[in-house]
Amino acid sequence: MKILVVEDEIQLQQTIVAFLVQEKMIVETASTFHEGIDKIISFDYDCILLDMMLPDGNGMDILRELRKMDKKTSVIILSAKDSVDDKVEGLLVGADDYLAKPFHFAELLSRIKVAMRKNAQHGEEIIQYKNIYLYPEDRRVVVDKDEIKFNRKEYDLLYYFMLRPEKVFQKTTLAESVWGDHIEMADNLDFIYSQIKNLRKKLKDAGADADLQAVYGVGYKLV
């Protein structure tokens, strides 16, 4: 999962990031309203953890902007304000959940997983394409009845493609989605080809009915 944490309390932000990274997630951050707006315009996320009270604006306006863009990203509001009116407003604007501060990280993780299943997986705990079955809870992949072993990045790539089969993705989009925005520091994106090559071989050897197809001059798609 690729998560954006919009939180101006730096110590809390860093603690959330450390926890989510430990849970094998790609995490990016924004500390202000304008940073948050720039991020949601420039990148796609699986889930956004959104603080309401930001130094230069209101998190609710970030949520409104996200929904105007018709992005289906899961949004969990994090707020010190725990009134019923605030919760109702957030849910009406388009948030998937509302978590009052302070909170336990185990609860935060469970809320993220529920929101992800609701939006990205349509309530299913298994993602299926052809004869490939992906189990997000324990990061397993099964082709027919045989489990296939992937390294972390191979799995993350396949997960990304499985949520969006038959859609073409540019190398830059794949890099940003799986490796995060720190990928901007990379000299080139040749490593994407290497990961795709390994992933294709493992799928073929396992007898998968799907393949990662190169679209010349554009990128790759799962077909």
Angle between helices 33-42 and 59-68 (to 10 degrees): 20
Query: Final residue of a domain: which of 119, 154, 175?
Result: 119
| pLDDT higher than threshold 70 for residue 184 | no
182 and 151 within one domain:
yes
* CATH code: domain of residue 112: 3.40.50.2300
CA separation for the pair 186, 183 (Å, rounded): 5
Domain that includes residue 74, residue range: 2-119
DSSP annotation string for 199-220 = HHHHHHHTT-S--EEEETTTEE
Nearest-Å Rg of the Cα atoms of the chain is 18
- Residue-wise pLDDT for 108-131, tens only, equals 988 888 787 766 555 456 788 899
Number of domains in the chain: 2
- Residue-wise pLDDT for 48-70, tens only, equals 999 988 999 989 999 999 989 98
31 and 112 within one domain:
yes
140 and 77 within one domain:
no
33 touches 8 (CB < 8 A): no
pTM here is 0.60
- Residue-wise pLDDT for 187-218, tens only, equals 667 788 889 999 999 999 999 999 999 998 88
Query: Final residue of a domain: which of 89, 119, 149?
Result: 119
Return all residues near 22 (Cβ < 8 A) that are at least 6 apart. Answer: none
**Two tokens at 139?**
């990061």
3-state secondary structure of 118: helix
133 and 92 within one domain:
no
CA separation for the pair 148, 182 (Å, rounded): 29
First to last CA, the chain: 22
Residue 204's pLDDT is what?
95
Read off the pLDDT of each residue in 137-151 and give the average, rounded to a whole number. Answer: 89
93 and 12 within one domain:
yes
pLDDT confidence bin for 10, thresholds 50/70/90 = very high
Residue 8's pLDDT is what?
94
132 and 88 within one domain:
no
